[in-house]
Amino acid sequence: MKKRSMFWKGKKAVFRCGILFLFLLLLSKAIAYAGDASSIQIFLKEGKEGIRSIQRAIQSPNGSGAPTKNSIVKPEEDKDSKAERDGEDGNWMLTLVNGENPLPDEYSPPLEKLENGLQFDARAIDQLNAMLSDARAQGLSPVVCSAYRTIEYQRELFDNQINKQMSRGWGRRQAVEEAGRVVSYPGTSEHNLGLAADIVSESYQILDEKQADTSEMQWLLEHCSEYGFILRYPEGKTDVTGVIYEPWHFRYVGKQAAKEITENGLCLEEYLMNH
């Protein structure tokens, strides 16, 4: 019995030692993890900057990091940086969308509704509302007739324009080319991006060049850059933008870019080629 009692005492001692060892091991792991957590966060933060640097280098033909006409600056959603999401430092504001730079298939902008039910990028909707409100305070009546569009709706508009061009006597191939001058191909429209708004005068809601003669458009052309907007397709820039003159199409790019673009008489493609 004595031997048996000593045997069980030995077993219990081994068991306690094992529990103590396991506890110390877990404690050391917890301490190591706590010490590494900040390092992980630093690594992730530096990693994002590294990725951005690589993207900028890839987008530039000379490795300088300057975007080219054929580059697309993809919008970034950094949950750790509200300033980048809502302020003037985010690449999302300068995303280039045109026939040579389609949006990624997975692109989905954060959206909020305007007072008329249309949707606009949530990060810039306050600036759009402020611009419209200030214009109305001057006795004007601007109306947003088009804002964010789904790819499906853009495709419907494009097909309708093809049919319209064919009814004028163009063959299918030529009709597609002509349609592309008026309506962007699905995925290449700024309306798919969510940062563009077609604004017209309440008294003249036709999308043609006469829109530029309205008091609303004249006020917007003079003041839109103060809110971070530009006239996206100005007169005389069709060879660069690939889109006809549209005095009703305004695009949010942020106040700094809008000021430089407007003061220098540039379109967005020209601005990005120099930045």
- Going by the DSSP 8-state scheme, the letter that residue 117 receives in this structure is S
246 is catalytic: yes
Pair of tokens at residue 183: 């309506």
What is the rounded distance in angstroms from the CA atom of residue 201 to the CA atom of residue 214?
7
Active-site residue, selected from the candidate residues 246, 260, 269, 270: 246
Cβ atoms < 10 Å from Cβ of 34: 9
What are residue 249's phi and psi, to 5 degrees?
A: -95, 110
Q: Provide φ and ψ at 88, rounded to 5°.
A: -105, 10
In the chain, the amino acid numbered 178 is E
- Residue whose entry in the numeric block shows the structure tokens 């006597």: 169
Whole-number Cα distances in Å, 43 to 50, 83, 160, 198, 270: 10, 21, 51, 43, 36
Instruction: Please enumerate in sequence order all residues whose Cβ is within 8 A of that of 102, keeping only pairs 6 or more positions apart, or say none.
Output: 72, 185, 187, 188
Residue with tokens 């949707």: 119
Distance CA 198, CA 226 (A): 18
**199 and 223 in contact (C-beta within 8 Å)?**
no
Residues annotated catalytic, as ranges: 246
